[in-house]
Structures are given as structure tokens and as C-alpha cells.
């Protein structure tokens, strides 16, 4: 009886291994065929953050912003600070205008590609402070004055790979009263935002950041 068991044991083991192997093979094929499991590559790609660079902003009338601390660099820097809170984005900044001759003309596809490669970014955000002027109105007898000041900003978002403009929007606000800021206040700082005009700029910054974030995340 012992001889028979010793003789049959290897055969029984082979049958068990074959059955186990067949089970795991069938189970693996069922998992691969399951439409509920996305390909690994698609999952990884969807998790990749979108890289963008904000360039320095052009200032249409520099004399209008003499009381503001470096709005050309401060504005994109503050937009970038807001965007950094979004983990779906990789944010970079450039001190340079999106231009080869310091003129805020429409950039060529070649320039967009060069900037994109230089900063490792697919998307480029450029802008212009179009108007930051103050207007003073007096009453009929010149006894009282009313000051108003506008902040008007143009935003353009480009795809560096295709050279296409994918979004363009203008933002504006007007404030009344004490509309000066003072260069002693750091752009975007607490003292800056405490002024009426600084508060208006801060609100525009929030709007611009929302536009940039929504536009880039929507791109495939």
C-alpha cells in the first residue's frame, strides 16, 4: 500500500498543479478583459500635471504706474502664486516679455516653441497692463473733486506645441476715492491690498488665476 501511494503521489501533484495553473490563467485573462480597469498608461497620463510659464507683462503706459511697485513682474508673480495651490499645474515664471523686440505683438509659433522648450512648459501665459490711469472730475464750481482709477488687463494663453492662441480675455475694474498706492508697498502685500486700488487689483488677480487654471486643465 505504501508503494502504491508513493507511485501515485507525483501524478496527483501534477494534476493539482495543472488545475491551479489553469485557474490563475483564466482569472488573469478575466481581469485583463474587464472593461472597468483602465490601461495603466491612460491613468498615468491623466495624473500628469500641466506645465505652464507666465511671462513678464507689458505696460502700455508706464507713467500711469509710477506709484506701483513693479507691476510688470508683480502681476504675473501673484497669478503664479495663486496657481501653485493647484496640484494639477506646474507653474513657472519668466522675467521676459513674450517678444523678441520688446513690442507686445502677436508671438510667432517659433517664439512660442522656443519659450516652451526653455521653460519646459506646454502653455504660455502673457499679458498687458493696458490701462491704469486716473481720472479727476470736478463739479460745476470746482469746489469738489472725484477721482476714479481703472485697472484694465489683457490676458492671452498659448499652446507652445501648436503655436495656437487658446484663450484671450480682458479684465477691468474701476475704483473711486483715494486711488494711489505708493511704491513703498510690495506688490500684492498686505499694505498693498489694504488700499482701494490695491484691493481692486487683487480681485482681478483672482479672476485671472481662475481663467488660467480652468483653461489649461480643460486642454487635452
Tell me: the pLDDT tens digits for 2-60? 334 443 344 434 433 333 344 334 433 333 333 343 443 444 444 578 999 999 999 99
Q: Tell me the pLDDT of the chain averaged across its residues.
A: 81
Can you say how many angstroms the Cα of residue 70 is from the centroid of all Cα atoms in its chain? 21
1 has a pLDDT exceeding 90: no
> What was the pLDDT predicted at 120?
96
> What was the pLDDT predicted at 138?
80
> What was the pLDDT predicted at 145?
80
165 has a pLDDT exceeding 50: yes
pLDDT greater at residue 106 or residue 200: 200
> DSSP letters of the chain?
-HHHHHHHHHHHHHHHHHHHHHHHHHHHHHHHH-TTS--HHHHHHHHSPEEEEEPPPEES-GGGGTTSS-HHHHHHHHHHHHHTT-TTEEEEE-SS-S-SSS--PPPPHHHHHHHHHHTT-SEEEEEEEEE--EEEEE-TTSS-EEEEEEEEEEEEEEETTTTEEEEEEEEEEEEES-----TTSPTTSHHHHHSHHHHHHHHHHHHHHHHHHHHHHT--
CA distances (Å), 210 to each of 8, 36, 147, in order?
Answer: 74, 33, 30
| pTM of the model as a whole | 0.76
Owner of C-alpha cell 509710477: 66
Average pLDDT on 133-137 reads 91
> What was the pLDDT predicted at 104?
62
Say how far apart CA 190 and CA 187 lie, in whole Å: 9
Amino acid at each position: 500500500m505504501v508503494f502504491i501511494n508513493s507511485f501515485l503521489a507525483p501524478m496527483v501533484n501534477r494534476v493539482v498543479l495543472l488545475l491551479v495553473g489553469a485557474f490563475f490563467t483564466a482569472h488573469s485573462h478575466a481581469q485583463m478583459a474587464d472593461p472597468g480597469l483602465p490601461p495603466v498608461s491612460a491613468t498615468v497620463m491623466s495624473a500628469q500635471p500641466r506645465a505652464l510659464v507666465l511671462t513678464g507683462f507689458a505696460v502700455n503706459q508706464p507713467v500711469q504706474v509710477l506709484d506701483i511697485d513693479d507691476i510688470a513682474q508683480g502681476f504675473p508673480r501673484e497669478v503664479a502664486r495663486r496657481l501653485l495651490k493647484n496640484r494639477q499645474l506646474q507653474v513657472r515664471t519668466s522675467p521676459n516679455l513674450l517678444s523678441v523686440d520688446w513690442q507686445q505683438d502677436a508671438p510667432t509659433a517659433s517664439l512660442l516653441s522656443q519659450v516652451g522648450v526653455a521653460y519646459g512648459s506646454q502653455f504660455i501665459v502673457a499679458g498687458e497692463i493696458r490701462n491704469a490711469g486716473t481720472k479727476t472730475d470736478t463739479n460745476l464750481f470746482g469746489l469738489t473733486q472725484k477721482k476714479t482709477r481703472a485697472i484694465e488687463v489683457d490676458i492671452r494663453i498659448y499652446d507652445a506645441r501648436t503655436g495656437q492662441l487658446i484663450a484671450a480675455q480682458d479684465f477691468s475694474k474701476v475704483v473711486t476715492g483715494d486711488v494711489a498706492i505708493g511704491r513703498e508697498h510690495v506688490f500684492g502685500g498686505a499694505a498693498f491690498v489694504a488700499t482701494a486700488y490695491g484691493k481692486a487689483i487683487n480681485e482681478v488677480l483672482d479672476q485671472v488665476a481662475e481663467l488660467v487654471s480652468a483653461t489649461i486643465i480643460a486642454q487635452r
